[in-house]
Structure 1
Amino acid sequence: MQYRLLKPELGHRLPTVNSTNDWIRNPEIPFGSWVIAEEQTAGKGRGSNVWQSLGEDPLIFSGKIRLSAAEISLPLVSIFISSALLKTIFRFFPERVDDTTIKWPNDIYKNEKKVAGILVQSEFINGVYDVVIGIGLNFFGKQIPDPLQDKASFLSDTSLSEGELERFANQLVVEINQAIITLLDPGQVLKDLVWIEEHSLLKNKVIETEWEERMVRGRVLGIDELGFLLIMTETGQKIELMDTSPKFRII
């Protein structure tokens, strides 16, 4: 099949929108399109959560691609989109290399606080995945709302220069496309997983989570070739997590 990756020339910029993910899901918007918005009034989070953009310089981004279901693991898509975002961050903010990481499966953290979230929504039709990629990144701001003081932060200590948001978005498109191409090569997938694990917030951490209707605690071993998180429990059992539960926490 013909893959439909993001096309630089199909970018849009909107002053305000309810949700960039909802906007780009419109059937009239062709695959390969992407959008950034200055304001989002009803941002999508995972499950029933809402994504709240913070500060004066947020990135509010969505893109629409089409993939072969036979060749792509959706959990890997999510973690590789996270790596694409982190690589873009490192290119523009090299000072963040030492303190900014991926929190499996799809968040970016600066130290112990969230600065970006990723929502990958997919629809399976006739052997293909129609995929919408939503990204929210808090670049810079002067104040974090009180309820989020212990949970969220800003990526940068200074505001963006003129045109930097657009340059960042264009480079992000390049990195997302490269991430998807990498997923088609099993050998390259394993190589990139090593990079992801080196930049993982959960590397060697002990976590607690709900698994098969019971609470388990264990040390993170890494991420497997399907994108699952590997855990060695206190009882010596090796388990695979496909996603986090509401009770997931780092000990």
Structure 2
Amino acid sequence: MEYRLLKSELGHKLPTVTSTNEWIRDVSIPFGSWVIAEEQTAGKGRGQNVWQSLGEDPLIFSGKIRISAAEISLPLLSIFVSSAVLKTIFHFFPEREEDTTVKWPNDIYRGDKKVAGILVQSDFTNGIFEVVIGIGLNFFGKTVPEVLKDKATFLCDTSLEEGVLERFANLLVLYINQSVIALLDQGQILKDLVWIEDHSLLKHKVIETEWQSRMVRGRVLGIDELGFLLIMTETGEKIELMDTSPKFRMI
């Protein structure tokens, strides 16, 4: 099976689009393509949620790849793509290493507020995942809507210099490809998970969530090789979370 990772020469830039994820899913767009848009009118979030780009300098990005289902864990792919976003942030804004982290399974936080979200969508056919990776990152803005002030903020304190957003997107493509390749090597997976856990918002945190139709509370132990969050509950039970529930929260 031939892998199709993102290719730098297959990048597109659009002035406006309904959703970059929907645009790139079109069968006429080849695998390996990626797109950034200046404006998105109906951004997609997880489940029935929408992604709301904020401020004057948002990154609105989607890419389309093809990988073997036998070799890749989608939950792990999601957290590895999140780490690719964080590594790109640290490259351009090293000062953010002090306060910016990955929030499992697919968000980027500055302090205790969200600055970026990652949405991985996939179709499965004949042992192959056809994957669309959507990323929204709010670089800079002057105001946050009142309804989001307790939840969202901006990555930067000043507006971006000319050309930074485009260079950011190009380096992000390389880091995403590196993350996918790392998933084919168990030794590299474990090494990268150490890096991710060191830059995790949930590291050593106590969380509460719904699990198997009951509420549980416990301390985060880490992330396993499939991308599941490992929790030690108050009763000494070790559980694995594949995803967050609507009732998931840090204590």
Fold equivalence (TM over 0.5) = yes
Query: How many Å separate the matches in 2 of 1:148 and 1:74?
Result: 29
Q: Which residue of 2 aligns with 1:91?
A: 91
DSSP 3-state at the match of 2:39: coil
Per-residue CA deviations over 1:175-209 (Å, capped at 9, x if unaligned) read 00000000000000000000000000000000000
Query: How many Å separate the matches in 2 of 1:145 and 1:161?
Result: 24
RMSD value over aligned CA atoms?
Answer: 0.3
Kindly provide the amino acid, as one letter, of the partner of residue 53 in structure 1. S
- TM-score w.r.t. the length of structure 2 is 1.00
Per-residue CA deviations over 1:148-187 (Å, capped at 9, x if unaligned) read 0000000000101111100000000000000000000000
Mapped pair 1:42 → 2:42:
yes
Q: Which residue of 2 aligns with 1:168?
A: 168
1:133: how far off? 0.1
Matched ranges for 1:131-142 at <5 A? 131-142=131-142
Q: Which residue of 2 aligns with 1:248?
A: 248
Query: How many Å separate the matches in 2 of 1:194 and 1:98?
Result: 18
Q: Which residue of 1 aligns with 2:4?
A: 4
Query: How many Å separate the matches in 2 of 1:63 and 1:151?
Result: 26
DSSP 3-state at the match of 1:227: coil
Query: How many Å separate the matches in 2 of 1:143 and 1:74?
Result: 35
Per-residue CA deviations over 1:130-150 (Å, capped at 9, x if unaligned) read 000000000000000000000
Matched ranges for 1:98-117 at <5 A? 98-117=98-117
DSSP 3-state at the match of 1:144: coil
DSSP 3-state at the match of 2:88: helix
1:79: how far off? 0.2
DSSP 3-state at the match of 2:139: strand
Matched ranges for 1:42-191 at <5 A? 42-191=42-191
DSSP 3-state at the match of 1:136: strand
DSSP 3-state at the match of 1:140: coil
DSSP 3-state at the match of 2:98: coil
Query: How many Å separate the matches in 2 of 1:66 and 1:243?
Result: 23
Kindly provide the amino acid, as one letter, of the partner of residue 204 in structure 1. H
Query: How many Å separate the matches in 2 of 1:50 and 1:219?
Result: 30
- TM-score w.r.t. the length of structure 1 is 1.00
Q: Which runs of 5+ in 1 are unaligned?
A: none
User: Percent same amino acid among aligned pairs?
Assistant: 81
Kindly provide the amino acid, as one letter, of the partner of residue 186 in structure 1. Q
DSSP 3-state at the match of 1:97: helix
DSSP 3-state at the match of 1:121: strand
Query: How many Å separate the matches in 2 of 1:220 and 1:22?
Result: 35
Matched ranges for 1:6-21 at <5 A? 6-21=6-21
DSSP 3-state at the match of 1:5: coil
